[in-house]
Structure 1
Amino acid sequence: MEKEALKATVFRTMPLLDEEWEAFAACWHPVHYKRKTLLTSAGAVEHYLYFVQEGVQRAFYMDDASTETTLVFSYTGSFAGVVDSFQLQQPSRYYLETLTASYLLRISYADFTRLLDTHPNLERWVRLATAQALSGVLQRQIELATCSAEEKFRILLTRSPQVLQLIPQKYLASYLGIDPATFSKLLKSVRV
């Protein structure tokens, strides 16, 4: 039962044959982390890909002045991890931390690559999932570059209304590229 949400998420991208799913599912192992646990540090190579059973995580970049910029959130039913570092086995440029206690499934890089080498359909699934993720990243880049603070706020609340209950406002403001005071004003004035 603990892998049913993972299966549903995987099959939304592309259904797998029973044999492929069973091999894939067998490589995911449960892990639990307390809130504010650093899972990946900048400069380290990501060794795991995660699937969120419960909890909220964020990936963030820290500049030379130690200013944090939130890049992405992951929460129940989504994949998490520093995917570029994981797939390329290169040092990460950013951090991944838990914002809440998190119950995750994880797969190691060794198991992941072995599965892709053994099951061509899994490699196809990864290609399609990566393309979907890239499409979302590019859409976000367009929004960051072309939308006003209010438009970005409205898009966030329309796309993911639950984030206000899950994620501290300072991280949401950082994610939108606006200062916390502007975020607070928008929270009071904008209705979606």
Structure 2
Amino acid sequence: MSLEPLAQLIGAIHPLSVADWSAFSAIWHPISAKRKQPITTAGQTENYLYCVTEGVQRVYYVDDAGREATLLFTYAPSFGGVVDSLLLRQPSRYYYETLTPSTFLRASFHDLQAVMQAHPAIETAIRLGTTQALSGVLERLVELQCYSSAEKLRALLRRSPHLLQLVPHKYIANYIGVDPTNFSKLINSIRA
């Protein structure tokens, strides 16, 4: 499997020297998953950082009443997984599943820790990537608290217009907080 998506992703975050890239790229291994396959489940400690090379996935939460909340979508080239569980070494409160057939590169927590300790530039890249993810979460919180459903959908389509064709609309409706039966009306209203 090509390391190009990983190189593209890490190059956009914090370019590495040839020696650092050699060490970093050596810890990644390819895996694939079918559509609707769980990658991480709640209660399980995340053991891998993923680099998405193909497909679309989602991270979601299930409350005590069994209601799902789609928190984010991942797709190439991006990091994926339940990162707080991975880095804090605690059981996940979230699920990570594929929505389409997907391929990944993944690095184990142990390998990631070792390479970060040996190569400060890699630790910097992971820290900056995590900080960018936190920035995205804060932006998403603003959307959730301040935007109407139509504004949330417009924001999602500005960031990721391809999701409308790839992801079942019920997940997008869940992500923006509308009933799936009203989603087509919402789509039509913002296209008008």
Aligned to 1:32: 32
In structure 1, stretches of 5+ residues that fail to align are none
- Residue of structure 1 equivalent to 2:100: 100
Q: Which amino acid aligns with 1:55?
A: G
Q: Paired residue for 1:175? A: 175
Q: Which residue is equivalent to 1:73?
A: 73
Please name the residue that 2:147 is paired with.
147
> How far off its partner does 1:157 sit?
1.3
Query: Shift of the alpha carbon at 1:188?
Result: 1.8
Which portions of structure 1, spanning 4 or more consecutive aligned residues, are displaced by more than 2 angstroms? none
Counterpart in the other structure of 2:113: 113
Distance 1:150 1:32 in 2: 35
Structure 1 residue 76: Cα displacement: 1.7
Secondary structure (helix, strand or coil) at the match of 2:60 reads strand
Secondary structure in 2 aligned to 1:110?
Answer: helix
Q: Give 2:54's aligned residue.
A: 54
SS at 2:191 equivalent: coil
Counterpart of 1:73 in 2: which secondary structure? strand
Q: How far is the alpha carbon of 1:131 from its aligned partner?
A: 1.0
Which consecutive residues of structure 2, in runs of 5 or more, have no partner in the other structure?
A: none
> Offset at 1:181?
2.6
* CA displacement at 1:37 relative to structure 2: 0.9
CA distance in 2, matches of 1:182, 1:168: 14
SS in 1 for 2:140: helix
Question: How many corresponding residue pairs?
Answer: 192
* CA distance in structure 2 between the partners assigned to 1:54 and 1:153 by the alignment: 23
- Name the CA distance, whole Å, in 1 between partners of 2:119 and 2:67: 42
Q: TM-score, normalised by structure 2?
A: 0.97
**Normalised by the size of structure 1, how large is the TM-score?**
0.97
Q: CA deviation at 1:4?
A: 1.1
Q: Which residue in the other structure is 1:190 paired with?
A: 190
Q: CA RMSD in A?
A: 1.2
